[in-house]
Structure 1
């Protein structure tokens, strides 16, 4: 159980980092349009 929690936490962390990176890329590419869409 402890292992699954750790793996889940790492997976969640990776998802958040990937999501943040994706947002950063979108902001660089689309600029203000991304903020308007969100």
Structure 2
């Protein structure tokens, strides 16, 4: 998960935090919960 999340964080940053373009809402929420 750590490798995946770090990659996602980079992708998210590249997309200026707009995850909804390529991450389903439930996964987005799970990621946000992990990061909080």
Q: TM-score, normalised by structure 2?
A: 0.47
TM-score normalised to the size of structure 1?
0.45
Counting helix residues as a fraction of each chain, which structure ranks higher? Answer: 1
Greater RCO (Cα-Cα under 8 Å, separation 6 or more): 2
Structure with bigger gyration radius: 1
